[in-house]
C-alpha cells in the first residue's frame, strides 16, 4: 500500500509527498516530527505537518539564507542563527573563513538529534565545528537577554505556528535589532508571498520601524510549493543591499566557496521583486 503524507500548512490547498519509507513519526516536547524518504526529493523532514527540508533541494534555501547577508558584509565575524536545527544554514555560515563565532539557538533539541542521525550531510559537521556554539533555548528569550552582538542574525524559523509563532512578532524583531552590531543585517524566513503575503507584509512593516533599510529577496525551492520563498532583510546600512556586482564577484572569488544555487549575479537579482511582491513590502 502506498503511503502519501500531506503538507497541511495552507487552508485553501494541500499537496502530498509519497513516503517510500517512514523513518520517524513522533512528537517532541514542542512539535510533531516526521522524517521519510521520497524517490524524487530524497529524505524529507516535516514539523507539524509542514515540509522543512528535502535533501535534494535543501542547498537552495540554505545557501540563499546564509550567503546573501554574509557576502553583503565585507568580513562578518559573528553570526547568530535562530532555529535552523537541521544545521544547513550553520553549515553555509561556517564556509566563510572570516566567521569566528556562530551561535545556533534552537528551541527543540530533538530536531538537532534527529538531524544528526538522519541528515548528517545537511549539517556536514557544523554542529561540532570549534567556531560553533549550539544553544537549546527559546529565540525570543535568548535575543532579549544576551549581551553578545552579531554582524548577522539569520532567523531560520518554521512558519508562524507552534513554537515558531513568536519569531514573527515585532517584539522579537526588536530584540534582534538590539543584538545587531552597527551596520549588521537581520534576515528572516518569510514564507511564500504568493500565498502567505500578509506574513511578509507584517515583517517588513516591523522592519521599517526598526531599520533604515527594509526589503525582501527571493529564491525558489521546489519542495516549498506555492511560488518563490521570501526572505526579510533589515539593516541600518542601506549600502549593504546595493553592494556592486563587481564587489560581490571579488568577495565570492576570494571566499572560494562552491555553491549550487548562490552566485553574485543571483544575489543581486534576488532583490529585484516582481510587482505583486513589491506591493507587499512598500
CB count within 10 Å of CB 97 equals 11
* Residue 236 known to be catalytic: no
Q: What is the DSSP string of 222-276?
A: TTS-SS-EEEEEEES-TTGGG--HHHHHHHHHHHT---SS--HHHHHHHTS--HH
In three-state secondary structure terms, 172 is: helix
DSSP category for residue 161: S
DSSP β-ladder status, 21-27 and 4-7: unpaired
Catalytic position from the list 39, 156, 253, 279: 156
Rounded distance, CA 226 to CA 275, Å? 17
Q: What is the DSSP string of 88-156?
A: HHHHHHTTSTT--EEEEEES-HHHHHHHHHH-HHHHTTGGG-TTEEEEES-HHHHHHH----EEEEEEE
CB-based burial label for 56 (10 Å; 0-12, 13-18, 19+): middle
Q: Which residues contact 153 (CB under 8 A, 6 or more apart)?
A: 79, 80, 81, 82, 143, 176, 179, 180, 184, 185, 186, 187
Please give the positions annotated as active site.
Answer: 156
Amino acid at each position: 500500500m502506498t503511503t502519501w503524507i500531506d503538507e497541511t500548512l495552507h487552508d485553501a490547498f494541500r499537496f502530498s509527498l509519497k513516503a517510500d519509507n517512514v523513518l520517524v513519526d513522533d512528537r517532541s516536547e514542542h512539535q510533531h516530527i516526521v522524517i521519510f524518504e521520497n524517490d524524487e526529493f530524497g529524505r524529507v523532514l516535516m514539523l507539524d505537518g509542514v515540509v522543512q527540508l528535502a535533501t535534494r533541494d535543501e542547498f537552495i534555501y540554505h545557501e540563499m539564507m546564509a550567503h546573501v547577508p554574509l557576502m553583503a558584509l565585507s568580513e562578518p565575524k559573528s553570526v547568530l542563527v535562530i532555529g535552523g536545527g537541521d544545521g544547513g544554514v550553520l553549515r553555509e555560515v561556517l564556509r566563510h573563513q572570516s566567521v569566528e563565532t556562530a551561535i545556533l539557538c534552537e528551541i527543540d533539541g530533538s530536531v538537532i538529534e534527529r538531524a544528526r542521525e538522519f541528515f548528517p550531510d545537511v549539517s556536514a559537521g557544523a554542529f561540532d565545528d570549534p567556531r560553533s556554539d549550539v544553544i537549546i533555548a527559546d529565540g525570543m528569550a535568548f535575543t532579549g537577554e544576551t549581551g553578545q552582538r552579531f554582524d548577522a542574525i539569520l532567523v531560520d524559523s518554521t512558519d508562524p505556528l507552534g513554537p515558531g509563532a513568536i519569531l514573527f512578532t515585532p517584539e522579537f524583531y526588536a530584540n534582534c535589532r538590539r543584538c545587531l552590531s552597527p551596520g549588521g543585517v537581520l534576515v528572516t524566513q518569510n514564507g511564500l508571498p504568493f500565498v502567505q503575503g500578509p506574513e511578509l507584509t507584517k515583517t517588513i512593516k516591523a522592519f521599517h520601524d526598526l531599520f533604515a533599510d527594509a526589503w525582501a529577496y527571493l529564491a525558489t525551492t521546489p519542495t516549498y510549493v506555492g511560488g518563490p520563498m521570501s526572505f526579510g532583510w533589515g539593516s541600518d546600512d542601506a549600502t549593504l543591499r546595493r553592494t556592486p556586482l563587481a564587489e560581490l564577484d571579488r568577495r565570492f572569488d576570494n571566499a572560494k566557496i562552491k555553491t549550487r544555487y548562490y552566485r553574485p549575479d543571483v544575489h543581486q537579482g534576488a532583490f529585484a521583486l516582481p510587482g505583486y511582491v513589491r506591493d507587499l513590502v512598500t
